[in-house]
Amino acid sequence: MNRRFFAYLFAAGAADSGYWVTQVAQGWLVVKLTNSPLWLGLVSAATQLPFLLFSLAGGDLADRFERRRIIAINNGVTAAIACLTAALVATGTISVGLLAALGFLLGTCNAIEHPVDRAWVYDLAGREAIGRAIGLSALEWATARTIGPAIGGVAIATIGIAAGYGANALLVVPMIVLALIVRTRNANVPDETQTEVERADGSRAIVAFSAFTAVFTIGVTPYIALLPDIAKNTFGQNAAGFGTMAAAGGAGAIAAALVLSWRGEIAHKGRIAIGAAIIGALLLIAFAHTHGFIPALILLAAMGAVDTALYALTNTYVQEIAGDSARGRANAIFSLAFLGGIPLGNAILGLFAGRFGSLPVLSWSATAVAAIAVLFWFAAPKTRDAA
């Protein structure tokens, strides 16, 4: 590891904490405006929909232009949108429709930046350290996922919802500064160690495994979007209680990320990721049938650990298989699958949750994901064992 990468971890930690503060603010604002799980799903879907629309474009940009400049511009636009949203909330002129539109704009910035950021991590860390770098990056994300909701819940309860969006605008500044001053060279030259056949096989494996991970993000990950409804209407919690529930997932994510960063390179990533998907689905089923607040926090921590492990393993899988000249586009496929499936799941599960309730719908979707994961294990052995 080098100083540039550790500087990146600090800046990314600040920016990601701001993202999670905003997620708490957005969820609680939707509950305040509508008290509807359907709107929770729809607004969250609007925020995540750009991953379906613009991830591939972000990957193409990552392979064509200087990655750090794209990141600096994107974070500057993010700060501007966050400031506008904070002003609208503070003046009482926000509506749920306008919130969804602004969420779509923020999501567009995130969708374009994610594949660029993943490729930039490779540039900063280098091929030899990519496994440990992604583990440390997962640790950074998990820490932000814990700190962000905790701060967000307290800030919203004491200062107001607008404070969450204002914090996001401030917390992206370190990433803007870093991207402007740290020079890196895109590692986008052809990888001569791979034959054409190996590159073709790798591309097929990336697409197939990404399709599988999309199933998980459609059927399991939307529990995060429905958490405000569950916190308020199942457990009777206020904004601080919701922040605690969100932070519990972050605590589990930190534990998983610590293990991954300590281990560095892990063999049989495909096998472990499929197993993690099955475990995550089973944990969600258990959560859907739990009515005690403390057991729910324990299950959320375990689910956070699984989410982080699955993300880190699948991203490392892609980074190792992808050729250098197409790394941005390979990461775009990963972004499309892992993050692009979230808006579909949020919209579909939010729609059914509005009619049947959040917990029953999550239980049904998790059961389907577990069955599909078991089927994929036996039906796609080459993809499962590719990395």
In which residue ranges of the chain is pLDDT below 50? 188-191, 194, 197
- Kindly report, residue by residue over 322-337, the tens digit of the pLDDT: 766 667 788 888 878 8
- Kindly report, residue by residue over 258-307, the tens digit of the pLDDT: 888 777 677 788 889 899 999 999 999 999 999 899 999 999 999 999 98
Cβ pair 138, 256 in contact under 8 A: yes
Question: What is the pLDDT at residue 197?
Answer: 42
Q: Is residue 92 helix, strand or coil?
A: coil
Average pLDDT, the chain: 83
Cβ pair 14, 151 in contact under 8 A: no
From the list 89, 30, 86, the residue with the least C-alpha distance to 228 is 30
| CA–CA dist 151, 24 (Å, integer) | 9
Cβ pair 330, 322 in contact under 8 A: yes
B/e letters for 239-274, b = 16+ CB within 10 Å, e = fewer, are bbbbbbbbbbbbbbbbbbbbbbbeeeebeebbeebb
Q: What is the pTM of this model?
A: 0.71
Token pair listed for 377: 């294990």
Q: Is the dihedral of CA 54, 276, 133, 145 positive or negative?
A: positive
3-384: which CATH number, 3.30.565.10, 2.40.10.10, 1.20.1560.10, 1.20.1250.20?
1.20.1250.20
Question: What is the pLDDT at residue 324?
Answer: 64
| CA–CA dist 131, 121 (Å, integer) | 11
Q: Is 78 exposed, middle or buried (0-12, 13-18, 19+ CB in 10 A)?
A: buried
Question: What is the pLDDT at residue 75?
Answer: 93
| CA–CA dist 200, 207 (Å, integer) | 11
Cβ pair 37, 100 in contact under 8 A: no
Question: What is the pLDDT at residue 323?
Answer: 65
How many other CB atoms sit within 10 Å of the CB of residue 200? 11
Instruction: Write the DSSP symbol of residue 38.
Output: H
